Amino acid sequence: IFASNVPVISAIGHETDTTIADLVADVCAPTPSAAAEIVAPATADLAGEVAGYAARIDEIVGRRVADSRSHFELAVDRMNLRVPDTALPRQRIDDLLVRARLAGQRLVESSKLRLATVEASLSALGPKKILGRGYTITRLADGKAATSVLQFETGDRMAVMFADGSVDATVDRSSPDTAPGSDGSEDGADDS
Domain limits, the chain: 1-30, 32-129, 136-170
User: What secondary structure does DSSP assign to 96-158, as a single string?
Assistant: HHHHHHHHHHHHHHHHHHHHHHHHHHHHHTSHHHHHHTT--EEEETTSPBP--GGG--TT-EE
pTM: 0.35
- Encode the chain (192 residues) as per-residue pLDDT tens digits: 888 888 888 887 766 777 888 889 888 888 888 888 777 766 667 778 888 888 888 888 888 888 888 888 888 777 766 655 545 577 777 888 888 888 888 888 888 888 888 888 777 777 788 888 888 889 999 989 899 999 999 999 999 999 899 999 999 998 888 765 555 444 444 444
